[in-house]
Amino acid sequence: MTFDVKKRPLIADTLKTIAGLLVTFNFFACVSIPKGAVAVKPFDQERYLGTWYEIARFDFTFERGLSHVTANYSIKSPGVIRVDNKGYQDAKSRWKESLGKARFVSGSDEGRLKVSFFGPFYAGYNVIALDKQYRYALIAGDNLSYLWILSREKTIPETVKNEYLAKAKALGYDIDKLIWTKQD
């Protein structure tokens, strides 16, 4: 059997491309948690399901200009949670909805999930504070660029708000950058 020397660079380039794609896919499929943050454990998936109102968030492209933002979590299939985010685009006078899926990073007893709205690309969704009644939650993304405060109601008590802000600040979040979501 002979090997065509002219094809060797093509094969090497193809293997490099495939390896690069695998590394890129692995990078986007992996999620993390900010340094010092700890996900809630034990975590009860069933109690967390349902509708949450966004109280505050860091500004980012996908939610820019939205008010009345909600997130609804339901079971999509075993091991997969359906994520239905909705908000009102004030500038366009219309509702915007994004459907995604979430999976647990370790086990369903820990509030560390990875969420995808775009195929194989996942982002961290880390529940780092949650009251015992599952009414208020503090969510960290992969890094200090993503933070949410959620509530089962359109408001949050000042004591809980201050507790969550102090926790976020201690982790290194610039809480002055939070956008307080209009829910009225």
Confidence of residue 6 (pLDDT cuts 50, 70, 90): low
User: What is the reported pTM?
Assistant: 0.84
Can you tell me the distance from the alpha carbon of 167 to that of 37, in angstroms, rounded to the nearest whole number? 9
User: pLDDT, tens digit, for every residue of 32-89?
Assistant: 999 999 999 999 999 999 999 999 999 988 899 999 999 999 999 998 999 999 999 9
Cα 118 to Cα 6, 20, 143, distances in angstroms: 39, 20, 19
